[in-house]
């Protein structure tokens, strides 16, 4: 697929973008190159590849949920008023 200037104008209109003709001449070959690269990905043999949610194994990013003591946050010391384990604030409105 080759991108024509009319196609670029259409996309710019849909995106509500305005660029100069000089910028269009600069961006059009770049967009054509990007589309050509994306089309080349269609030629890859991927039949033996299992689908995944991530591009790499990200299991090392997961951690256990640990319960932390909220007293570490010094909430009581930083709250304007403290009552029955909760911060109280003035009522707004009637």
pLDDT per residue of the chain (94 residues) written in tens, 0 to 9: 688 999 999 999 999 999 999 999 999 999 999 999 999 999 999 888 888 777 776 666 677 778 777 666 777 777 888 888 788 888 888 6
Residue 84 lies in a domain: no
What global pTM score does this model have? 0.49
Residue 38 lies in a domain: yes
Q: Which of 8, 1, 37 is nearest to 24 (CA)?
A: 8
Q: Which of 25, 47, 40, 35 is nearest to 3 (CA)?
A: 35
**pLDDT (0 to 100) of residue 13:** 96
Residue 61 lies in a domain: no
Neighbours of 79 (CB within 10 A): 13
Is residue 27 within 8 A of residue 35, CB to CB? The reply is no
Number of folded domains in the chain?
1
Alpha-carbon distance of 83 to 86, in angstroms, equals: 5
């Amino acid at each position: 697929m080759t991108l024509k200037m009319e196609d670029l104008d259409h996309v710019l209109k849909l995106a509500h973008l305005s660029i100069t003709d000089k910028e269009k001449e600069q961006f059009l070959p770049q967009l054509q190159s990007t589309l050509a690269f994306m089309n080349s990905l269609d030629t890859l043999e991927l039949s033996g590849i299992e689908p995944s949610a991530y591009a790499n194994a990200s299991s090392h990013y997961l951690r256990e949920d640990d319960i932390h003591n909220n007293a570490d946050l010094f909430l009581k010391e930083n709250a304007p008023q403290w009552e029955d384990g909760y911060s109280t604030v003035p009522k707004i409105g009637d």
